[in-house]
Homo-oligomer: A and B are copies of this chain.
Amino acid sequence: MANRITPRSQDQNQWYLDVIREAQLADYGPVRGTMVIRPYGFAIWERIKESLDEKFKATGHSNAYFPMLIPMSFLEKEKEHVEGFSPELAVVTIGGGKELEEPLVVRPTSETIINHMFAKWIQSYRDLPLLINQWANVVRWELRTKPFLRTLEFLWQEGHTAHATPEEAEEETLRMLDVYATFAHEVAAVPVVQGVKTEREKFAGAVRSYTIEALLADGKALQSGTSHNLGQNFAKAFETQFLNEDNELEHPWQTSWGLSTRFVGAVIMTHGDDKGLRLPPRLAPIQLVVVPIWRNDDQRDLVLTAANEIAEELGAAAGGPGLRVHVDDRQQRPGFKFNEWEMRGVPLRLEVGPRDVASGSVVLARRDTGDKATIERADLAAEASRLLEEIQEGLLAQALAFREANTRPALDRDSFQAALDQGGFVRVHWDGSSEDEASIQAETGATVRCLPFQTDEESGVCFYTGRATQTIALFAKAY
């Protein structure tokens, strides 16, 4: 079977769309810009959810659910917020066959409706901190869309918290950013830069926005998760107040933070190759696929029995290492199956034929390197676990090396443009204004992705204004 995936080197965009189609991750919905998440793509999202949800709960958050339909007037209460979101709204004007008195917005995000409720629930410092998360769908009327990376409707989680002091709110904002970064590195093997957004790029309504920025293989940056310190902006707009320990009324300090199905796009773009998807083992819905090989019915019974035994051994049931294993027992040629599971990015393939059963061995093939080796059945559980760890580390190392190779310094406007033309991050000293950012974007298409957290002081000169500064900025073209 011919590989129906366009080589990356030929056309990154077509490669991305081909992988999504051939790996059966998603399909186009009937409404422009909407997406159907197919079972295999959704299984990746389920793994992301599971991993994050556990971390959210471990840091004291509870899940809740708020209505999707928000009165239009709510959006208008916070001035920056309505300016940021009103061009992107989907509006329900008819309900039960009648024109509604007040149009209802399909949530683009839930700060407003959540603050409406927080104003009822928060009375005293005893009610704080209030630590809520919601898994939900949101709608933003985007004009240019691309599966996973930008769709009219997407799935996400949005955390919303309220605190008694500004320090606690800032601490929470950074804690959740760190949860995202840890997840991205350790589970998804997607290296991200943590930093703060500029005033121009921050969330509409926030005091300060933090971000994790990934660098995708096409050289564009992807904002992969954000954490916002909202200060008292929404609390003031919605008159949320609490009695503090000194019996004085104060507005609580709030945060919000979100990560969405666009992260699946980051995974595809970061790890894929010309054969299709490559999934990091900790995120993969299937970590090891067993392909039994037979020529006739007798052999079929023999190898299928062995295949199922192996799956059992490697799973959790029999006290095994708890791998996620799938036995592909379809009536198809092995070559067809090899190709399909390669396209779908399963980290390890195990082949077992009649001679392997006789000799008590199997063949293990790595998706990342293509290496194949014969393994004794007795060593299989340990070897599979070891290889999965190696693949996980290998994918992260590759992605880190790619980012390093594609992060270029620039000292002045000319070298900035030259660096940008090569794709990737351009790392500069920065002392410009929001107007300067706008000019740069108009001239080059690049934006400040973030001011990365710095551990050391780095004195230098802003590439754009020529002023001395210690602030570093990462510029890039972005999704």
Residues of A within 8 A of B (CB): 27, 29-31, 34-39, 42-43, 45-46, 62-71, 74, 86-97, 103-104, 106, 113, 116-117, 120-121, 132, 136-137, 139, 141, 143, 152-153, 155
B91 near A86 with CB under 8 A, answer no
- Chain B residues with Cβ below 8 Å from A34 are 67, 69
CA distance A179 to B120 in the complex (A): 39
Min C-beta distance of A18 to chain B, whole Å: 17
Min C-beta distance of A193 to chain B, whole Å: 29
B141 near A96 with CB under 8 A, answer yes
Q: A43 and B71 in contact (CB under 8 A), knowing A89-B96, A90-B92?
A: no
Q: How many copies does the complex hold?
A: 2
Min C-beta distance of A84 to chain B, whole Å: 14
B120 near A69 with CB under 8 A, answer no
Identify 21 residue pairs between A and B in the complex whose beta-carbon atoms are under 8 Å apart, listed by A's number. Answer: A27-B120, A30-B67, A30-B74, A31-B104, A36-B65, A37-B65, A39-B63, A39-B132, A42-B63, A42-B65, A65-B155, A68-B153, A69-B90, A87-B97, A89-B94, A90-B104, A91-B94, A91-B95, A96-B141, A97-B141, A136-B137
CA distance A183 to B43 in the complex (A): 24
Min C-beta distance of A389 to chain B, whole Å: 24
- Chain B residues with Cβ below 8 Å from A103 are 94
A95 near B42 with CB under 8 A, answer no
B63 near A92 with CB under 8 A, answer no
B38 near A64 with CB under 8 A, answer yes
- Chain B residues with Cβ below 8 Å from A29 are 66-67, 113
Q: Which of B39, B92, B132 contacts A91 (CB 8 A)?
A: B92
Name the residue on B nearest A86 (C-beta). Answer: B97
CA distance A437 to B96 in the complex (A): 25
Name the residue on B nearest A71 (C-beta). Answer: B30
